[in-house]
Structure 1
Amino acid sequence: MDILLQVWLLVLLSFPTMVVSQSGTNVTSLITHLFTTKNYNKKVRPLTNQTEAVHIDIGFVLNAIIAFDEREESLKTAGYLELQWRDEYLKWDPDQYDNIYKLFLPQEDIWKPDLSLRNTYKTFTGLGSSYLNVEVDNTGLVYWIPFQVLESTCAVDTSYFPFDVQTCTLKFTAWSYSMTELEIHKSIDGVRLEDYVENSSWGITETYASETTTDEAVVYFIFKLKRKSGFYIINIIIPVVLLSVLSVLTFILPVSSGEKASYAVTVFLSLALFMTIVTSELPKNSENTSLLAVYMMVVSIWSTLIVTLCLVESRIYTRDEKSVPINAFFMALVKSKSFFTCQKCAKSVKPEVCSKTSIQPYDSEEPPNNWRMVVDAMDFVFFWISFIVIFVCTLVLGIMAINVS
């Protein structure tokens, strides 16, 4: 037992001695051996058998979504790639160099794949910078971690704005090599988010990576971004819904007040203003139409119809039934109001129903011929038609928003 303990102590004491024995001279000798003695050439693919393909594993660590411009359809992200491959010309025996197992070399001094972002938005640039290093171990395994600020294109679908989910892709490819010369494989982790800083406007719902099986060496990093819609709900959707309710309430205002038409026009102008705000948030050349924009268009069209009806009612209100008889259409409106408000309840089998209304019944079969009564009937009928139209449109918008969410 004592002998085993002594051996173990000797191992512990000898290990730090081996580490301390490494010096700058050892590193210099190793670098001279690799780059001068062995005449390393970074222009040659790192394989002794040049008929084989270099295998590269690539992963992506996302740091932040800097900006997502839906109008320009561009995504700006910050993160770093994790690349790994084996360079057969950068091998050495650690025992010959005092147990040096790894080196840090400038990335410009060794061969590296000419990977770049293919779906770039503005400028086409390579990965990494001249001041970054790569890590190389004694088996020739190279680790390259270039940090990048990437600006990529991203097709935008605004159908469910502001409850939309956008799918954006970072497409990395090697421009100079085919699959027979260089194979790119996604890493097991794909896209990692341990360093991700949450964006105030967009949340990430899903990330994954994929690779092609064609003649082109390409790896895709896909992000599914969900818009945070709280700002739009409070500042756009709720005001628009309230304005649509106000447009319906136009028919409660009597024509005799003289403010009915001006009130309807004011509501219409407010809706037009909000349509301008929503339009400014949407892409310039969107192939899809937002449901919110459709909803606002329907409300605006209906508001235009309400303004027209208010002007017609103002004209009808001043008519004299003796000089301008009431035609069948307007009589149908009056009878419709009479039916739904139970104005003939004096002859109804259930007169107690009419007791709940404030309208006095009349005994005649036909309602009195009065243009003011026609206007009242128009207000009643069009109020409930407008209410149903706005309610159904708002309900459909809400259901679609819930389903997307």
Structure 2
Amino acid sequence: MVVPRVSSVCLLKIPAVLALALCYLLSDVAANQSQYKLLNDLFADYKTEIRPVRNLSTVTHVDFKFFMNLVLDMDEKHQKLTSNIWITVIWHDEYMVWDEEKYDGVNNFKIFADRLWLPDIYFYQNAATKYENFLFGHLAVIYSDGEVYWGAPVIFQGHCKIDTRYFPFDRQRCEMKFGTWQHDGTEVALNGTGDTSAFTTNGEWDLKAMESTNNVAYYPDTPGIPYTDVTFVIDFQRRSLFYVFNLLMPCTLISLMTVLTFFLPAESQGKISLSVTVLLSLTVFLLLVAEVMPAADEVPIIGQYYAATMILISISLSMNVLVVNVYFRGPDRDSGPAPVWAKKLINGYLAWVLNVNVTDEPASKQDRTPESVPLMEVNCNSQAAASIVNVLEPSRQDSPLPSLRRKFYDEHRYAQNGCHSDGRHTSRDDEDQNILLRMVLKELRMMNMQHEKQKHRGKINTEWKRMARVIDRFCLLVYVIGTITTVLVNVCQIPWDRLK
């Protein structure tokens, strides 16, 4: 085992180090004892109720330093601002002066401010449950020349007149006034300064500027006596991106979805139900905005936009009801034909302007109906007999008279065959044949009249449906123009110069 050698020089240094450490400890003990002695001497006859001046005519000058740190909450509905403020208050206490040499060089000490005289400074816009002097309950630093430094972070909840007209693109100016309540200007003079270097944004509000003004005010309860106060005007700018994505964008998408209702056919049941669903969805978002906004006479921009959008959607719902009503008009609804002026204005001029095709398509050969057969006298030699037989043949799929009895066909075919065989028939057979032909022709004529009637009714229904299609296109154009106008009007109201 090797024993390390210790030089004589190191052995000589050890007592010196121990001596220095001992002196340091003894000096701390002496300083601590000096502070106890200093406190006993200073507070032996000290009175916190009396203003710390030896001459009553001396004015106590109080420096009030205001550091805006954080916006905890901006309650627009209740017009309240909750903020975290760093405050430093400095004044001169003539009874807190001592000679540093008599107390082993003690330059300052810290003590709870409750043991000192404190200026009665209050926050005038206080919106908390009670008024209280915020200086109590914190530490203060006292220097040998009598300067008292009080500093602490304080949370204030105060009333702030919030202008929500341009919400969410608004910029708010909140006042925070501090002043003495009992000490007038001949006793305490308050001088305030503001600083924004300690501000930290909360994600919603940015601090743009802060102004401080020292005032002298006279109050009606003490006429002629001046009181000093300091007012800080804080300028906040709201970050609007959150509200754009969560309030404005959904409203815009909902208004665009309303356009889809005009592309649905009139006979679709979803044309009305989709409009009602969109209107209800927008109502939900409007309730969210109403929960944030205060109950004031002035409607914010976002409220105006929502209200205008709801009006447009309601109008679109009324338009869709009108289109469906016009579409299903006609003889089947006892509406009769469309008025001449409506056909000329809507199916004529308006359809041309909107480029809506309302002309008839050329009918195919299969769609064409046979012309009416005149009621006439026929015999076995007439060519009408042969054509009627062909029409009445039961095997034909397009036979217009499926209700005729087969025996009429059989009898007429027999009569026609007899005619073609020898060309002669008895008068009795010719009379039966003529009776049968008259019955067939009468039935054809009645059926032709019924077909013409149905064709006329179908024409009237087609006119109404074409009119509904033109009106639907016109309503779509009106809604799109109204939506674009609403957006432009609200965008033009935004104070873009204040957002810079």
Category of TM-score, reference length = shorter chain: 0.7 to 0.9
* CA distance in structure 2 between the partners assigned to 1:66 and 1:323 by the alignment: 69
Is 1:89 the counterpart of 2:64? The answer is no
Which position in structure 2 is the counterpart of 1:7?
Answer: none
Q: 2:351, 2:358 within 8 Å by CA — same for their partners in 1?
A: no
8 Å Cα contact 2:206/2:239 also seen in 1: yes
* Contact 1:337 1:380 (C-alpha < 8 Å) held by counterparts: no
In structure 2, what residue type is equivalent to 1:383?
L
User: Could you say what secondary structure the match of 1:160 adopts?
Assistant: coil
- Check if 1:244 corresponds to 2:250: no
Q: Find the aligned partners of 1:336 and 1:216 in 2 and give their Cα distance.
A: 78
**Aligned equivalent of 1:233, options 244, 253, 258:** 244
Identity %: 23
8 Å contact from structure 2 (residues 347, 358) kept in 1: no
Among 237, 246, 269, which residue is 1:258 paired with?
269
Q: Conserved in 2, the CA contact under 8 Å of 1:326 and 1:371?
A: no
Amino acid at match of 2:309: V
Alpha-carbon separation, structure 1, partners of 2:291 and 2:32 = 62
CA distance in 1, matches of 2:108, 2:297: 53
In structure 2, C-alpha distance between the alignment counterparts of 1:175 and 1:159, rounded to whole Å: 35
1:362-393 deviation digits (Å, cap 9, x = unpaired): 9xxxxx99222221221222211211111121
Deviations, residues 236-291 of structure 1 (Å, cap 9, x unaligned): 211101111222332222213332112221221111122112212222x2342111
In the superposition, relative to structure 1, how do residues 334 and 171 fare at CA in structure 2: closer, same or farther (>3 Å)?
farther
2:311 corresponds to which residue? Answer: 301
More moved, 385-394 vs 166-175: 166-175
Q: Which residue of 1 aligns with 2:289?
A: 278
Match of 1:292? 302
Shift of 1:113: 0.3
Alignment of 1:383 with 2:465, yes or no, is no
Contact 1:172 1:220 in 2 (8 A): yes
Indicate how the Cα distance of structure 1 residues 166 and 326 shifts in structure 2: closer, same or farther if over 3 A, else same: same
Aligned to 2:40: 32
What CA distance in whole angstroms lies between the structure 1 residues aligned with 2:183 and 2:53?
14
Task: With the length of structure 1 as denominator, give the TM-score of the two structures.
Answer: 0.81
Contact preservation (8 Å) 2:67, 2:195: yes
Once the two structures are overlaid, the 10-residue window that deviates more, 325-334 or 160-169, is: 325-334
**Secondary structure of 2:95's aligned partner:** coil
User: Which amino acid is 1:191 matched to?
Assistant: D
Between structure 1 and structure 2, the one with the greater Rg is: 2
CA distance in 1, matches of 2:211, 2:117: 28
SS of equivalent residue, structure 1 residue 235? helix
Specify the alignment match of 1:128 in structure 2: 135
SS at match of 1:89: strand
| Contact in 2 for aligned 1:249/1:383 (Cα 8 Å) | no
Aligned residues: 364
**Quick one: distance in 2 between partners of 1:324 and 1:57?**
89
Following superposition, the deviation at residue 342 of structure 1 comes to: 5.6
**CA pair 191-287 structure 1, distance change in 2 beyond 3 A:** farther
Residue type at the aligned position of 2:87: L
The 2-side partners of 1:329 and 1:360 are apart by 16
Offset at residue 307 of structure 1 (A)? 1.0
SS of the aligned residue for 2:267 comes to: helix
How is 1:314-329 mapped onto 2 (pairs within 5 angstroms)?
Answer: 314-320=324-330, 323-326=336-339, 328=341
Aligned to 1:224: 235
Given candidates 173, 176, 197, the residue that maps to 1:193 is 197
Distance (whole Å) between structure 2 residues aligned to residue 91 and residue 384 of structure 1: 84
3-state DSSP class of the match of 2:69? strand
* Counterpart residue number, 1:340: 353
Distance 1:94 1:266, change over 3 A: same
Tell me the CA shift for residue 294 of structure 1: 1.0
CA spacing shift, 1:330–1:381, aligned 2, 3 Å = farther
The answer to whether residue 121 in structure 2 is matched with residue 115 in structure 1 is yes
Distance 2:473 2:311 in 1: 20
- Distance, in Å, in 1 between the alignment partners of 2:349 and 2:32 is 100
1:57-81 Cα offsets, whole Å, 9 max, x none, are 1112233222222222222222331
Does residue 164 of the first structure (1) align with residue 206 of the second (2)? no
Query: CA RMSD, aligned part only?
Result: 2.9
Checking the alignment, whether the CA contact within 8 Å between 1:135 and 1:143 is kept in structure 2 is: yes
**Structure 2 unaligned residues grouped into runs of 5+:** 1-19, 218-225, 362-459
Seen in structure 2, the aligned counterparts of structure 1 residues 204 and 335 have a Cα distance that, compared at 3 Å, is farther
Equivalent residues of 1:331, 1:374 under 8 A apart: no
| Structure 1: gaps spanning 5 or more residues | 1-12, 344-357, 363-367
- TM-score (ref. length: structure 2): 0.66
In structure 2, the partner of 1:5 is none
Offset, 1:335 = 4.2
Counterpart Cα distance in 2 of 1:109 and 1:330? 95
Residue 58 in structure 1 maps to residue 52 in structure 2: no
SS at match of 1:88: strand
